[in-house]
Amino acid sequence: MRRACDRLESEHQNDAEKPEGVGWDGTLDPKTKRMVWQTHSTFDQALAAIRQAAQWYDKVGRLGYGVHAWH
């Protein structure tokens, strides 16, 4: 995951417009108590979230636990 982030950063470092991240859900505006619908995360926000997930997988692995998908 980290290598993928590094590769993407390298590929897009000189781009005037970076790719968009994933679309966001709504967030609650604390002042108006209304939902504010977001468009997309930024490229940097998307990479930061992926790096954070990679850090979590590393920690879980160091603690001796496994991770698997289920539904």
pLDDT for 40: 79
> Considering the entire predicted model, what is its pTM?
0.68
- Tell me if 13 is assigned to some domain: yes
Range of the domain at 45: 2-62
Number of folded domains in the chain?
Answer: 1
Write the DSSP assignment of 22-52 as a string of letters: PBP-EEEETTTTEEEE--B--HHHHHHHHHH
The low-confidence residues of the chain, meaning pLDDT below 70, are 23-24, 69, 71
